[in-house]
Amino acid sequence: MNTKKRIGTALVILVLAVPTLLAADVFLKQKQHTDAYEVMGQKQPATDLITSVWMTKDKIRSDNEENSFLLRQDKGVIYFLDHRKKTYAEMPMDMSKMMPSEDQEQAAMMQNMMKAMMKVEITVMPTGESKKIGKWNCKKYTQKIQMFSGPMESEIWASEEIKIDYDLYTRYGASMFARMPGMQGMMESMLKEMKKMKGVPVLTISKSQVMGQTINSSTELLDVKEGKAPAGIFELPRGYREAEIGK
């Protein structure tokens, strides 16, 4: 899967799969599994990662042993950290800022292409099924996402026993898309769909289509708690050099 597709998929999953915006900072620990798959002749082995996520009202950091995702809404930027190479790539939340300013006609053409690429359609449906997963009583939802990298269908088990401001959570999640080209007109429909899911996702089982291949993955919530994010966690680590996205 190329870098642009990984970024797009990561943004959607992160926004829709984790809650945010409590009075205190929020910490989540998740287990992420992806089955082995092959795309364009490139074989990828099965992976299991433990991911830690810290969130505040305008910052999110997601870490695993391989890389980190750092969103700074206060600065309007997103960072992708590669811990093996000790590099980071920076991307503006407003994707139009990546367009060249010298050639206005070319910039406009590229922006229209970006609008088409970044278009995301989301459908959420409650099923009425319920069961206990771990220590939480959950209800089942189905979610369909159509995005430029291909469709994704998910089975989501969410719990209302994890107390957050759900309305604020869904609005914040949708607002992360709002700065991207083509997303502004979709805000209300996205909010309407996202609000159908009551509670925090505890287990998400997904099936994605990429280049005609099926990728199966799952995300399980292991722990969630309120607290104070460690000092400096939302800053770029010392000793990391900047690299272009995809390098």
Encode pLDDT of 171-222 as tens digits.
Answer: 545 544 544 445 545 556 677 777 788 888 899 999 988 877 889 999 999 9
Tens of pLDDT, residues 73-99: 888 888 999 999 999 999 887 655 555
Lowest mean pLDDT segment, chosen from 95-104, 113-122, 124-133: 95-104
What number is the average pLDDT over the span 42-70?
88
Specify the pLDDT at position 20.
37
CATH H superfamily, domain 3-242: Lipoprotein localisation LolA/LolB/LppX (2.50.20.10)
Q: At a CB cut-off of 8 Å and minimum separation 6, what does 212 contact?
A: none
Residue with tokens 């798959």, as numbered in its chain: 37
Specify the pLDDT at position 87.
95
Average pLDDT, rounded, for the chain: 77
Tens of pLDDT, residues 220-245: 999 988 888 999 999 999 999 998 76
Taking the C-alpha atoms of residue 105 and residue 9, their distance in angstroms, rounded to an integer, is: 29
What is the CB neighbour count within 10 angstroms for residue 174?
A: 23
Specify the pLDDT at position 153.
93
CA distances from 25 to 53, 59, 72 (A): 10, 10, 15
Contact 145, 12 (CB under 8 A): yes
What number is the average pLDDT over the span 140-155?
86
Taking the C-alpha atoms of residue 206 and residue 214, their distance in angstroms, rounded to an integer, is: 10
Specify the pLDDT at position 172.
47
Which is more confidently placed, 193 or 63? Answer: 63
pTM for this prediction: 0.72
pLDDT at 162 over 60: yes
Taking the C-alpha atoms of residue 205 and residue 54, their distance in angstroms, rounded to an integer, is: 22
Specify the pLDDT at position 59.
84
Vertex 40, ends 93 and 219: CA angle to 5°?
55
Q: What is the DSSP string of 70-96?
A: EEETTTTEEEEEETTTTEEEEEESSGG
Taking the C-alpha atoms of residue 146 and residue 161, their distance in angstroms, rounded to an integer, is: 29
Q: What is the radius of gyration, based on Cα positions, of the chain?
A: 18
Which is more confidently placed, 183 or 156? Answer: 156
CA distances from 198 to 20, 40, 123, 201, 208 (A): 14, 38, 14, 9, 23
